[in-house]
Amino acid sequence: MLEEQASQPNLWDDASQAQSLLQQMSSLKERIAPLKEVEQRLDDLEVMLELLAEEATPDEVALNELYTEASHLEKVTARLALETLLSGEYDASDAILEIQAGAGGTDACDWVRLLQKMYLRWAENRGYKAEVVEESEGDIDGLKSTTLMIHGKNAYGYLRAEHGVHRLVRISPYDSNKRRQTSFARVEVLPDIGEEIKIEINPDDLRIDYYRSSGAGGQHVNKTDSAVRLVHLPTNTVVTCQNERSQHKNKAVAMQVLQARLIALEQRQSDQRRANLRGEAKANEWGSQDRSYVFHPYTLVKDVRTNYETGDVIGVMNGNIDPFIDAWLQWQQAQKNQSTE
């Protein structure tokens, strides 16, 4: 149907409609391509099995090749099955990820910095593009807050699993007595809708402040008043951006983040049952954690929602959070199934 429309001679009479049609076609082809690849690989495996069955003594090299291909195909199909759980309205979108320090003082600020590195490594491992939009430095060390933009297929759908309060337990590097410290950080994930955003913002509802970028200096921090703070007065929503080199670019990125936040807020207000853009708001402190990272006296990372856990703290901090994301997607689907029974 779409291909028939695209072949019409008057397709480009309406350039905007034509571009939208071609984008839909491209998106559908992208989704179908992995399925066609799996189908082709299954056919190849079937041929290999038939050839091996005809041999009185199967070749060991060919058998190993068969097992390797079957194992790889199993992983691919498992990943495709998981992607079927990404059925939310904005799951395919890029993601805006915000991290804010909670209880724990300087350790909490350091925790924000560690989480920032974890998500940047996760994005790199997946082949996603990630950029730091905003960083607000802690009074002594670390970051009070940071905002990342993650660009990649299904980035928002996957990172929704990370929304919540993350608790860190470790020996504090800032305590001269080497005592154990517990600190918290809240992770908030929003969809980056881009040009699809429909919300209109009245200029009279905005307060725009320009100020000098904070930081330790260097090539990424300007010496001019290029940083931008947007305040949406009706909702008291505040967004800052300081990492671009020009005031104009910082304002554009801040507006993008603000629109995403307002979309999330609007959906929460219109339908509480569909509050999956921001999730449940919790206190950024004791008793509110969604995931705990314990470095001492033992090593354990555990998600209290799904009960998935691992002792490989170092691996997790190096960006290996896919098992937690997979477990959360399956847990969320189970929750949906229960609610419809």
The DSSP H or E segment spanning 181 is: strand 180-192
Number of other CB atoms surrounding residue 339 within 10 Å:
8
**286-301: per-residue pLDDT in tens?**
567 999 999 999 999 9
**37-87: per-residue pLDDT in tens?**
777 888 888 888 887 777 777 778 777 888 888 887 877 787 777 777 887
Question: Residue 196: pLDDT band by 50, 70, 90 thresholds?
Answer: low
**155-166: per-residue pLDDT in tens?**
999 999 999 999
Question: Residue 3: pLDDT band by 50, 70, 90 thresholds?
Answer: low
Q: Where are the domains of the chain?
A: 2-83, 90-341
CA–CA distance, 191 with 259 (Å, rounded to integer): 10
Instruction: Enter the pTM of the model.
Output: 0.70
The DSSP H or E segment spanning 112 is: helix 105-126
Residues 298-309, mean pLDDT to the nearest whole number: 96
Residues 233-239, mean pLDDT to the nearest whole number: 90
Q: Is the Cβ–Cβ distance between 306 and 314 less than 8 Å?
A: no
CA–CA distance, 187 with 162 (Å, rounded to integer): 7
More confident residue, 329 or 41: 329
| CATH no., domain 90-341 | 3.30.70.1660
> Which amino acid, residue 271?
D
Average pLDDT, the chain: 83
Residue reference for tokens 């100020």: 211
Considering Cα of 319, then 324, then 325, then 326, what sign does the dihedral take? positive
The DSSP H or E segment spanning 159 is: helix 155-159
Give exposure, 88-125, as e/b (b: 16+ Cβ within 10 Å): bebbbbbbbbbbbbbbbbbbbbbbbbbbbebbbbbbee
pLDDT of amino acid 331: 92
